[in-house]
Amino acid sequence: MTSKLSRSVVLLLAALGVVTLVAGPAAAQAPERLATQVTDPAGVLSDRAGVDAALAELQRRTGIQLFVVMVDSFDGTPAQQWTDETARLSDLGNRDALLAVATTDRAYAYSFPEDSRISDRELSEVAANEIEPALSRSDWSGAVIAGARGYTDAAAGSSSFGWIFLVLGIIVVVVLVLMWLRKRRSASHTRPGSAGAPPAPAGPTAEELTARANALLIELDDDLRAGERELALAAAQYGAEATAPFQAALESARQDVAEAFRLRMTLDETPGPDATQRRDTLTRIITLCEGADARLDAESEAFDRLRDLEGRAAEAATEIDQRRAAIEAALPTTEATAKQLAAAYSGGTITAITANAGQARERLAFADAALIRARQALAGPGTPTTSGSGVPGGGPAEAALAVRAAEQAVDQAGQLVGAVDRAAADLPAARAAADSLINEITGEIAAGRAALTGNAVAPAGLTAAITGGEQALAEVRAALSADRPDPVGAVARLQTADAALDAALAEARDVAERLAHDRSLLAQELPVARAEVAATNDFITTRRGAVRSEARATLSEAVRHLSVAESVAATDPATALAEARQARRLAANAGRSANLDVQRWGGGSGFGGGHQSGFDAGAFAGAVLGGILSGGGRSHGGWQGGGFGGSASRGRRTSSGGGGRRGGGGRF
């Protein structure tokens, strides 16, 4: 009975996104890669709100991200060895720490980076005075909260991280400025598989194939995102007929990249493919991406001629500046809306939009600088800048590049603002859906109890489904009564319980009743799935300079499942319901993974918004985070790459192991 309840708890937590579907060590097994900050397959963290708040406060005040994993057993592996291996597999960097607890073994350990601001003595004191006393009482949530607060207090008086980040920020800004001013031409920018690129070595290793496949996936996904937005602008100006060839090329490339992302996800499945199959799959991914890349390149030059940004740079700059001003005027309302939502709700939706207004302001500042540069380029050599210095004008070609950069920045600012508006609509809708599901599950529990009363032999799993449904109702009602509920998370938890009840009651329903029931649930599920996919897509698009291939692949699969759900909704609501639920789960996973990528990237507002000699570092870093700046593009080089499907920034920032790690722990 206990094991059944544990599995039910894990299933419910998975629906909330606390435990991902494919990552995080299960009870009594070898270390595995963690995909979320809190992983609790043991199902013992009862005060998740308190745990999340303590971890967030630790990261806000110190920059240290503490990962937590709670399992039943370390499976015979020494606690410190288990914890260090989990940290290694999870790519924990020099701002990441890990606390691992085995509740049945009564053992725990922690792993901190060498360059942490907390000393070995302070780590030992926090363990002895804060963590162990709570663990000895089996107060698992209390141990995590006390440990996080202890680490916060220990690091609060130190500023050792501050100068490191300052120096790194200065170095990165200087490098980016040099890239900006060098204005490299596209002739010097070769791409994998293109003419002039170094030939691939004969018989590349699996690691080399993996690296190339991942790089191409990121590059092509960026191309598609930029191309879709630019094509929409062109279609609005010239009409669907004139842009039809480019639309066809983009759609064909999108299908190939979606298939490549699907194949990429199969490589991470358990069990994974053998070595030969893995090489074949990686080779197929590379082939698909190179084919998509070639189709986009084939239309790039014609697309540039259609838009003729060189010929109409001045006119386009005026139009973009008008859009920039309109979005800027809306920012105070956006900021107020975001604050109101953050005060009323919690959860992943809020996390995704909290910084949107600030990042939109950075994009607009960058656009303003780009438009100034475009006008200087059009005015000719020696045009005075705002600081009084003369800058050689680059003519129409450079003006076109600057206009395109401004256009993309303004477009992303609009997306960031729109995401806040969408959240303002989606969160109340999710709350209404939660109330509807509460009524639905309440009725199903009553029907289930009636079925138990009227049958000598209970249908398989019905008792457990009823118990799970009652537990979900109690937990969700308590969560929704909090000051800042997470209605999206509540819907996910309720849908998991509802699915279990549906399966258990299916035998008691006739075909017509099941069909009506599935259609009713689908009407609730599809909008939530669409909102989750759209929110994650916006987040990745506006931060694509930092997001790695895993989140993109997961989102691509979510889009595919959502498309299937929508295509069969009218004819097969049961299949559509399952597909929509899968789309929502995958989109949520992609959102969490992308958010982690952005946190580890350290860009965006982290560079600050100061101005020196007319240069806005915050706006520039925001443009890098948004993938607007690059060293080259599909058809143009120079200050900013562009063209149809123009590539975003190819630079990747991945977490570093940062040398050795320090550990400790023991029995309790």
Q: What is the pLDDT of residues 362-384, one digit of tens each?
A: 889 998 988 998 888 888 654 44
Tell me: the pLDDT tens digits for 199-250? 444 568 888 888 888 888 888 888 888 787 777 777 777 777 777 888 888 8
b/e per residue, 568-606, with b = 16+ CB within 10 A? ebeebbbbbbbbbbbbbbbbbbbbbbbbbbbbbbbbbeb
Q: How far apart are CA 342 and CA 351, in angstroms?
A: 9
Query: 2-159: which CATH architecture?
Result: Roll (3.10)
pLDDT above 70: percentage of residues in the chain: 74
Q: pLDDT grade, residue 98 (50/70/90)?
A: very high
One-character DSSP codes across 205-225: -HHHHHHHHHHHHHHHHHHHH
19 pLDDT band, cuts 50/70/90, is: very low
Question: Under a CB-based contact definition with an 8 Å cutoff, are residues 218 and 549 in contact?
Answer: yes
Q: Is 121 helix (H, G, I), strand (E, B) or coil?
A: helix
Contact 338, 416 (CB under 8 A): no
CA dist 87 and 92 (Å) reads: 5
- Residue 610 CA to residue 595 CA, distance in Å, equals 25
Please give the distance of CA 506 from its chain centroid, rounded to a whole number: 36
User: CB of 431 within 8 A of CB of 452?
Assistant: no
**Angle CA 380–617–423, to nearest 5:** 110
Confidence (pTM): 0.47
Answer positive or negative: Cα dihedral of 194, 200, 202, 204: negative
Q: How many angstroms separate the Cα of 495 from the Cα of each of 46, 385, 433, 490, 524?
A: 20, 58, 10, 9, 10
- Pairing outcome for strands 661-667 and 107-113: antiparallel
Please enumerate in sequence order all residues whose Cβ is within 8 A of that of 651, keeping only pairs 6 or more positions apart, or say none.
545, 624
Pick 461 or 446 by higher pLDDT: 446
Q: How confident is the model at residue 619 (pLDDT cuts 50, 70, 90)?
A: low
Structure tokens at 2: 């206990």
The number of C-alpha atoms within 13 Å of 598 and in the hemisphere containing its C-beta is 28
CA distances in angstroms from 129 to 123, 151, 283, 569, listed in the order given = 10, 12, 54, 57
User: How many other C-beta atoms are found inside a 10 Å radius of the C-beta of residue 326?
Assistant: 11
The DSSP secondary structure of 45-79, one letter per residue, reads ---HHHHHHHHHHHHHHH--EEEEEEES--TTS-H
- Are the C-beta atoms of 356 and 331 separated by less than 8 Å? no
Determine how β-strand 96-102 pairs with β-strand 65-71: parallel
For residue 612, the surrounding DSSP H or E stretch is strand 611-612
Which residue has better confidence, 308 or 556? 556
Q: 């789309």: which residue's tokens? A: 583
Q: Where are the alpha helices (DSSP H) in 137-190?
A: 140-156, 160-182
Task: Name the amino acid, one letter, at 476.
Answer: V
**What is the overall mean pLDDT for the chain?**
75
- Cβ within 8 Å of residue 387, ≥6 positions away: 613, 614
Per the listing, tokens 């490589």 go with 267
pLDDT given for residue 145 in this prediction: 94
In this model, does residue 325 exceed pLDDT 90? yes
509-to-248, 470, 513, 522, 541 alpha-carbon distances in Å = 46, 21, 6, 17, 44
The stretch 534-539 carries a mean pLDDT of 89
Question: Residue 334: helix, strand or coil by DSSP?
Answer: helix
Instruction: Please give the residue that has the higher pLDDT: either 627 or 337.
Output: 337
Q: What is the pLDDT of residue 156?
A: 64
More confident residue, 394 or 433: 433
- In the chain, what percentage of residues exceed pLDDT 90? 17
Phi and psi of 27, rounded to 5°?
Answer: -60, 140
**Tell me, what's the pLDDT at 92?**
83
pLDDT value for 115: 60
Cβ pair 371, 406 in contact under 8 A = yes
Task: List the structure tokens of 582.
Answer: 């899968």
Residues of the chain with CATH 3.10.310.50: 2-159
Report how far apart, in Å, the C-alpha atoms of 340 and of each of 33, 484, 488, 570 are. 36, 11, 17, 38
| pLDDT reading at 146 higher than 90 | yes
Lowest mean pLDDT among 221-225, 251-255, 267-271, 343-347: 267-271
- 35, 55 Cβ separation under 8 angstroms: no
Q: Which residues contact 312 (CB under 8 A, 6 or more apart)?
A: none
pLDDT the model gives residue 625: 62
How is residue 94 written in tokens?
């020099």
In terms of Cα–Cα distance, which of 544, 543, 587, 542 is closest to 563?
Answer: 587
- Other CB atoms closer than 10 Å to residue 378's CB: what's the count? 21
- Tell me how far apart the terminal alpha carbons of the chain are, to the nearest angstrom: 26
